[in-house]
Structure 1
Amino acid sequence: MLKSDADLGRNMEVDVSIVEIKDSNKKSQFAEEILRRLPEWFGIEKALIEYVNCVASLPFWIALSRDGRCIGFISVKIHYGHTGDIYALGVLPEYHRRGIGRLLVAKAEEYLKNNNCKYIIVKTLSEMAEYEPYERTRKFYRSVGFEELITLTEMWDSENPCLIMIKKL
């Protein structure tokens, strides 16, 4: 007997397409739509607006569902010509644990390798802050091969210690 979608639960993978977006306005629009649905991670309005504005000039991909809805995105930067940086990554909550984040990270890694990057980093909230949503974030990044590199207590502010994670490409 086949299991229904409800029986499979959140671990069921979703049929998506990863599409590069070049239009600056669309990048910002897609990012804002997703980030506003993730207040546990992007609940500080000033920071959310900064992400929305900055992605406009960065490499950017979206995950499109079969019905053509944007359900996630990733945007990256390149530092010093050899280190990629996941600037922002977001997936709608109802699509968490469905493989979409993995697909987006894989697309970013492919792009960064093609642009001669040796490493990829991501900045996230350190475990020093003891905030459950970011425990899941760190677990996700570990699952795709990132390792903890360093925690910087003065990069953002004293209540938000920044953990930098790294992966060799």
Structure 2
Amino acid sequence: MAADLRTHHGFVAVRRTGAEEQVVGFVTWLPRVGDVNLVELTWLGVTPQFQRRGLGRRLVEAVADRCGQIGVSVMEVTTLADSVDYAPYARTRAFYRTLGFRDWRVDADFYGPGDDRLVLRKYL
């Protein structure tokens, strides 16, 4: 992840308390090689105390706004598919779906036997 943060586009959410600053969230993305109309969300993270407050939504919306400015029409994100019974990823899928991402493709056994990958897309 550290290498990605140096080479990907991104936004950081910072909480300021007086003179102190604390990173409370971030999002990174990359243009798809060979497709100037698509960006891939590569990382999204929000500290636990700031989750479920709309910060993740605002970070993804910031990427969508930037995409609009540069003429990109599709955002893509990948995660574990519905076939993988793991609660944190069920929440991840629900989060992206509420933001307008739709299931685009499932890649069987992508992460290993029985660990399918779900590709979601949002058309801007």
TM-score after normalising by structure 1: 0.67
Structure having the larger proportion of residues in strand = 2
Tell me, yes or no, if structure 1 residue 52 matches structure 2 residue 2.
yes
Tell me, yes or no, if structure 1 residue 160 matches structure 2 residue 110.
no
Tell me, yes or no, if structure 1 residue 97 matches structure 2 residue 47.
no
Q: Superposed, which structure 2 residues align to 1:133-144 within 5 Å?
A: 133-144=88-99
**Which consecutive residues of structure 2, in runs of 5 or more, have no partner in the other structure?**
none
What SS does structure 2 have at the residue aligned with 1:145? coil
Which aligned runs of 4 or more in structure 1 are off by greater than 2 angstroms? Answer: 154-160
**Which consecutive residues of structure 1, in runs of 5 or more, have no partner in the other structure?**
1-50
Aligned counterpart for 2:16 among listed residues 54, 62, 66: 66
Question: Over aligned residues, Cα RMSD in angstroms?
Answer: 1.2
Q: What is the one-letter code of the residue matched to 1:74?
A: V
In structure 2, what is the Cα distance between the partners aligned to 1:106 and 1:155?
28
What is the CA distance between 1:56 and its match in structure 2? 0.9
TM-score after normalising by structure 2: 0.90
Count residues in correspondence. 119
In structure 2, what is the Cα distance between the partners aligned to 1:159 and 1:52?
28
Higher-Rg member (1/2): 1
Structure having the larger proportion of residues in helix = 1
Q: What is the one-letter code of the residue matched to 1:144?
A: L
